[in-house]
Structures are given as structure tokens and as C-alpha cells.
Chains A and B, each alone.
Chain A
Amino acid sequence: MRVASWDIGKLALRPRLVWIMALSSLKVRLHRTFLTMLTIVTSTAFMMYLFTMPRSGDLTERQSWMLMLVLSLLVCAAGVLNTMLMSVTQRYREIGTMKCLGALDSFVLLAVLTESALLGLAGALAGVGIGLVISILLGLGEHGLAFAQHLRLDGLLWKVPLVFAVGMALTTLGAAVPAAIAARMPPMDAMRGEK
């Protein structure tokens, strides 16, 4: 029989808090945030460059560069994975404490994913821009002011979104496992005494 003066309720997810958590985590670890973003920037810039590079290079060379592109994208995903894992393990107790205070698993999951998505967004945006700029500069160097005819500027409408999407997908992929680990962490880990 229940004689409690209250009934069990449900908690709702607080999107605004998710946002605040993700932002503050990025801000606190600013150096690492910057370095991780750099890996995203370089690999997306590389991809964007390959898509728009001047036509003078011969085809076999471009193909071998595509292989390097795949490698660089993998390195980027591994970098994000590493960063997010560190971000999560460093905050093990913090996350456990928040769970004791009423953070839902979905809250923790979303906070970590949002954190990496913000990284990806900024990194991919910068990468797309930097890749284009490199292409243009190299084109200028090779062909002078008539560079535009020699660049692969066709299909920019799909190239830019594609490069951007790949950058975002990589960061999400890299963050998926750490986010799941953080979300499933038992709150009792926060109770342990060690500092």
C-alpha cells in the first residue's frame, strides 16, 4: 500500500541545459578544443582542395591523393574519438554527480554529442573555406588571373555540402562511443572518495 505524500514523477529533458553543458565543456578545455578542431579543419580542407584543385595535375596523381584523403579522414575521426574519450573520462565524477542530481542518460548523451557537433560545425566550416582558398591561391600561382577556368569549380553546390557533411559525420562518429560510455555510467561512481 502506498501512503506516501507524493507520487513518482518523470523528468523531462532540458535542451537548454544540454546546450549550456556542451558550451562550457568546450570553453573549459579550450586548448584541446582548438587542437581537435584543427584535425577536422585540415582533413576537410584537404578534401575541399582535392575537389576544386587546378586541372593541370594528371589524373593518377589525383587518384593517389584520394587515398591520402581517406587516410586523413580516418586520422581525423580517431582524433575526435580520442578527444571526446578524454573529455568524458576526465569528467567521470562530474557526470556521475550530475546523474545524482537528476541528469538523465539522454541528457548526458546529448551533451557529449552536442559538444562534438559544435566542434565539427566550426571545424568543417573553416575547412571548406580554407580548402577553397588553397585551390584559388594555387590556381592563381599557376594560371594567373584566369585561374577560375582551370579550377574544378563545377558542382560546388554539391561539393561544399558534401565536404561539410563528411566533416560533421566524422566528428559524430568519433563521439558516438564516448557519448554512449558517459550516458551509461552508473551514478555511484561519483560516490567514490578519491579526488
Chain B
Amino acid sequence: MTAPAVDWLADLQDQAEHTVMARGVSKIYHMGDEEIPALDGVDVTIRTGEYISIMGPSGSGKTTLFNVIGALIKPTEGSVFIDEIDVAQLDANELAWLRCRKIGYIFQAYNIVKVMTALENVTLPMLFAGVPADEAQDRAVEILDRVGLGDRILHTPKELSGGQQQRVAIARAFANRPAIILADEPTANLDLKTGEDIIHLMKEMNAERGVTVVCATHDHKMLDISDRIVWMEDGQIKKIADRDEVKIEISQMSEH
């Protein structure tokens, strides 16, 4: 008799432990008369606080899945839940709120607003969220200091290297204390060493702040620090591996 209640409790607990849940997500793009399926029935659950990498060749649906999770595009079929909230039910303003408060985006090309200083870039999302200007500025200084740019807060992107710009982007993404960070190929434009630094910074921030990180990447350096890796192919999830499994595979790869 007690079994159903326990199930229910377990369910509840399970729900509380994940941040993103995609169920049966498909996305079809139309090119003239042609239908191009970018995603084909994807199910994925992303646990709270984990660092998950999405890997796969270009055209595998990686970016589309990423955009769907980030509430940037609507799936043709299926649903996406962020903390149990069905993204499809939200209106334009609520979506903007979600992007502003709950999701932090990190882009391949940094996308720092060129005409603004590092400080202004990090302050911007907080101002959109309604944080008072003074408080936003204090928090921006603190977080820029955390990503190692404490002495460059008044520099504009022109005066910053690629790695430094990506640090600004990371600070900006974490500014509103989001639930998820979405990073799209964050190291693709960086050299090996700088890319490694950025990966470690993201991992540290992930551990410190307990923020879930979802990262689309080609970069095999990313495998080492990911809790789980999702492999995509032809719009489907081919495999989801835990870090331990991946480590074994890598060691096998290096043996051959």
C-alpha cells in the first residue's frame, strides 16, 4: 500500500534534481519544398549542477538541440521543461525573463557589445533584470574580478584579447545567477592554451556556484572535465556517456 506514495516521492525528488528535460523533441526546417529534420525525437535529462557536453559533427543537430534547450527556437514537436516549467507555455515577455534570469549564454564569437566596456557588458543583463544600477555595478566588479579581469574592467573589447573577451562573456553569463549556462563552442575561436584556461574557468564556476553547464563543442579537451557527454548524429542522440566511461575510451584510444 505504501508503494505508490514512495514512487511519488521518488518522482518528486527526481524532478527536483534536474534542470532541463527534453521529451520527444523534433525540429524540421523547411528549405523550399524540402523538409530537413535537424532533430528527430530527442530525449535528454540534464541534472542540476552537472557539466554536460554535447558533441557531434556539424549538421548533427547539436546547435539545434542547444537552441531548443536555450528557449531560442521552438521545437516542431515535443516539449522542453526548464525546472519543470514548459517553455512552450511562455509568452514573449516570459521568454525574455527566462533568458535574462535563468539562462546565461556564452557564444563562440564572444558577442561582447563592442561599444561598451567590460563592466558595462556585465552590468547590462542585471539592468535588464531590474537590479539597481549601484548594486549591479558592485556585482559586476566582483564577478569580473573572479574571472581574472579585475584590472581591466574599463577596457572595451578592442583592447582585450580573445581569451579576455570570452572571460567577459563568462562573467556576463553568470551575472544574473542563472540556473543554466549554455555555451556554444566557447573555445572554437581560441588557441589551445587559452581554450584550456577558459574550459577550466567554466568548470570552476560550475563547481563554485552549482550552476548547470551545457556546452556544445568539438573540443576534446572538454571531455576531461565534463560530468557527462552526449553524442549527436543525424539529429538523434547516439550515446550518453558518464565521465568514467569516457576516460576508459580515451585511454583505449591513446593505446592504439
Contact = CB atoms under 8 A, between A and B. Distances in A.
Contacts of A63: none
B184 interface: yes
B115 to A, nearest CB: 5
Contact of A187 (B97, B99, B130, B188): B99
B101 interface: yes
Given A97-B113, A188-B67, A102 B101 contact: yes
Contacts of A194: 109
A142 B49 CA distance: 82
B225 interface: no
Contact of B124 (A2, A98, A195): A98
Determine the interface band of chain A, counting residues with CB < 8 A from chain B: 35 or more
Contacts of B125: 101-102
Nearest to A191: B184
Contact of A3 (B84, B111, B130): B84
Contact of A104 (B63, B93, B102): B93
Interface in A1-53: 1-6, 8-12, 14, 17, 24-25, 27-28
A71 to B, nearest CB: 36
B16 A3 contact: yes
B72 A186 contact: yes
A99 B99 contact: yes
Nearest to A101: B125
Contacts of A118: none
B109 A100 contact: no
Interface of A: 1-6, 8-12, 14, 17, 24-25, 27-28, 93-94, 96-105, 107, 186-188, 190-191, 193-195
Q: Which 3 residue pairs spanning A and B have beta carbons closest together?
A: A102-B100, A102-B128, A4-B83
5 contacts: A9-B101, A17-B127, A17-B128, A187-B72, A188-B72
